[in-house]
A and B are shown apart, each in its own frame.
Chain A
Amino acid sequence: MRGWLRRDLRAAVCLAYLAGLVLLAVLAPWIAPYSPTAQKGAEALADPSAAHWLGTDDLGRDVLSRLIFGAPASLYASFLAVSIATGIGVPFGLLAGLLGGWVDRIISRLIDTLLSFPGIVLAIGVTGALGVGLTHGMIACGLVFSPTLARLARAQTLVVKNELYVDAARCFGASTGRILLKHILPNAVQPLIVQLTLLLAAALLAEASLSFLGLGVQVPQPSWGAMLARAYTYIDIAPEQMYAPGFAILLTAMAFNGLGESLRDVLDPTMKRR
Chain B
Amino acid sequence: MNRRWRMLGERLSQVIPVIVLATIIVFGLLQLVPGDPAMTLAGEQATDERIAEIRHLYGFDKPFLVQYGTWLGHAAQGDLSRSLLSGERVVTLIGQSFPHTLTIVVLALLISLLVGVPLGILAAMRAHTRADTAISALSSVGVAIPNFWLAMILVTYFALGLGWLPATGATPLGESVVGSLRHAILPALALAAGGIAELTRQLRSALLEVLSSQYMRTLRAKGLSETAMICKHGLKNVGVNLLTVIGLLFNRLLGATVVVEAVFAIPGMGSLIVRAAINKDFPVVQGVVLSMVLVVVATNLLIDMLYSVLDPRVK
Tell me the residues in window 194-211 of chain A with beta carbons closer than 8 Å to chain B beta carbons. 201, 205, 208-209
CB neighbours (8 Å) of B18 from chain A are 109, 112-113, 116
Given known A-B contacts A117-B289, A121-B292, A236-B160, A129 and B22 have beta carbons under 8 A apart: no
Interface of B is mostly: helix
CB neighbours (8 Å) of A124 from chain B are 258, 273-274, 277, 285
B76 within 8 Å of A (CB atoms): no
Report the bound CA distance from A246 to B153 in whole Å: 10
The 8 Å CB contact of B152, one of A114, A242, A274, is A242
The smallest C-beta distance from B272 to any residue of chain A, in angstroms, reads: 11
Residue tally, chain B, CB below 8 Å to A: 53
- The reply to whether A253 and B144 contact each other, CB–CB distance below 8 Å, is yes
B256 within 8 Å of A (CB atoms): yes
Given known A-B contacts A118-B252, A125-B273, A113 and B25 have beta carbons under 8 A apart: yes
Residue tally, chain A, CB below 8 Å to B: 45
Interface mask (A27-57 → B, CB under 8 Å = 1, otherwise 0): 0000000000000000000000000000000
B263 within 8 Å of A (CB atoms): yes
Tell me the residues in window 240-299 of chain B with beta carbons closer than 8 Å to chain A beta carbons. 251-252, 254-256, 258-259, 262-263, 273-274, 276-278, 280, 282, 285-286, 288-289, 292-293, 296-297
A22 within 8 Å of B (CB atoms): no
B97 within 8 Å of A (CB atoms): no
The 8 Å CB contact of B29, one of A116, A125, A257, A258, is A125
B103 within 8 Å of A (CB atoms): no
The smallest C-beta distance from B271 to any residue of chain A, in angstroms, reads: 10
The smallest C-beta distance from A184 to any residue of chain B, in angstroms, reads: 27
Given known A-B contacts A131-B34, A215-B277, A118 and B254 have beta carbons under 8 A apart: yes
A228 within 8 Å of B (CB atoms): yes
Report the bound CA distance from A116 to B21 in whole Å: 11
Report the bound CA distance from A118 to B263 in whole Å: 19
B65 within 8 Å of A (CB atoms): no
- The reply to whether A118 and B32 contact each other, CB–CB distance below 8 Å, is no
Interface mask (B150-174 → A, CB under 8 Å = 1, otherwise 0): 0011011000100000000000000
The smallest C-beta distance from A123 to any residue of chain B, in angstroms, reads: 9
The 8 Å CB contact of B259, one of A113, A209, A257, A258, is A209
Given known A-B contacts A125-B277, A128-B278, A250-B146, A235 and B255 have beta carbons under 8 A apart: no
CB neighbours (8 Å) of A215 from chain B are 274, 277-278
CB neighbours (8 Å) of A119 from chain B are 252, 255
- The reply to whether B160 and A209 contact each other, CB–CB distance below 8 Å, is no
The smallest C-beta distance from A214 to any residue of chain B, in angstroms, reads: 6
A249 within 8 Å of B (CB atoms): yes
Interface mask (B23-44 → A, CB under 8 Å = 1, otherwise 0): 0011001101110000000000
Interface of A is mostly: helix
CB neighbours (8 Å) of B302 from chain A are none
- The reply to whether B152 and A228 contact each other, CB–CB distance below 8 Å, is yes
- The reply to whether A118 and B296 contact each other, CB–CB distance below 8 Å, is yes
Report the bound CA distance from A225 to B149 in whole Å: 9
Given known A-B contacts A118-B296, A125-B29, A257-B140, A235 and B259 have beta carbons under 8 A apart: no
CB neighbours (8 Å) of B277 from chain A are 124-125, 127-128, 132, 215
A169 within 8 Å of B (CB atoms): no
The smallest C-beta distance from B212 to any residue of chain A, in angstroms, reads: 8
- The reply to whether B255 and A118 contact each other, CB–CB distance below 8 Å, is yes
Report the bound CA distance from A129 to B273 in whole Å: 12
Chain A residue, CB-CB nearest to B20: A113
- The reply to whether B148 and A209 contact each other, CB–CB distance below 8 Å, is yes
- The reply to whether A239 and B148 contact each other, CB–CB distance below 8 Å, is no
A120 within 8 Å of B (CB atoms): yes
- The reply to whether B30 and A201 contact each other, CB–CB distance below 8 Å, is no
- The reply to whether A129 and B145 contact each other, CB–CB distance below 8 Å, is no
- The reply to whether B293 and A117 contact each other, CB–CB distance below 8 Å, is yes
Q: List 24 A-B contacts (CB under 8 A).
A: A113-B18, A116-B300, A118-B251, A118-B255, A118-B292, A118-B296, A120-B255, A121-B255, A124-B273, A124-B277, A125-B273, A125-B286, A125-B288, A126-B32, A129-B32, A130-B32, A130-B33, A201-B144, A205-B144, A209-B148, A213-B259, A228-B149, A253-B146, A257-B144
11 new A-B contacts, CB < 8 A, other than A205-B144, A208-B148, A253-B146, are A113-B17, A116-B300, A118-B255, A121-B254, A212-B259, A213-B259, A228-B146, A231-B152, A246-B152, A250-B146, A254-B141
A-B pairs, 5 with minimum CB distance: A128-B277, A118-B255, A253-B144, A129-B32, A113-B21
